[in-house]
Amino acid sequence: MKIWKHFLTITEHKILVMRHCFRIGLYRQGLFHDLSKYMPSEFIPGCRYYQGYRSPNNAEREDRGYSSAWLHHKGRNKHHYEYWIDYSLEPRKGMTGMKMPNRYVAEMMMDRMAASKIYKKGRYNQHQPLCYYEKGKDGYMIHPETRALLEYLLHMLDKKGEDYTFAYIRRYIVGKKEYPRIPDRYKARKEAGKEMGSKK
């Protein structure tokens, strides 16, 4: 049981997300981000499966066949697109990703940046959050418009950097009811009944 090390890892991440959130004017979410990681259902498996170089959820998955900590986490934290998976109104479609409100898309972005920074330690650069996303995106069950907005922000960070992206999110996303207008090439499109985000 690596209690202290796990505590430091999740706390370091939480503080970094908080700093990012404060820069975009997301104060309440910055304070409460990932608080459920300190509850026994997530904290205990986190200590038991602590490895240091990757998420303990992966180790728990390999050992038990599922991650009880993650199942507990994703049901309570709205900045994960997995929280927003629900039954579609179209009966045949089954479960699908619902459109995430602006403020949680913003928090998801801050979470991804902080996770890349901590994972890469001193070797972080602004291209890594996009790179990480590109590796996993095909498996995402996420609403096409939310996917398009997330991709737009990740490409913005990749090309224009952190200061520009923070300023954009603060101005056009946080506190806004509707998603911002984004270039056509990022817009969601449907292909053969399957929801797809734009590639570039």
Tokens linked to 108: 């998801």
Nearer to Zn ion, 112 or 195 (CB): 112
Q: Does 107 bind Zn ion (CB under 5 A)?
A: no
CB nearer to Zn ion: pick between 78 and 137: 78
Site size toward Zn ion (CB under 5 A) is: 2
Nearest to 34 by CA among 7, 3, 54, 52: 7
Cα–Cα distance for residue pair 189/183, rounded to 1 Å? 13
Compose the 30-59 pattern: x for residues touching Zn ion by CB under 5 A, - for all others.
----x-------------------------
Length of the chain: 200
Start-to-end Cα distance in the chain: 43
Q: How far is the CB of 34 from Zn ion (least distance, A)?
A: 4
Judged by CB, which is closer to Zn ion: 34, or 60?
34
Nearer to Zn ion, 55 or 128 (CB): 55
Report the site for Zn ion in 54-93 (rule: CB under 5 A): 77
Q: Which residue has the tokens 């900045």?
A: 79
Dihedral of the alpha carbons of 148, 154, 158, 160, in degrees to the nearest 10: 80
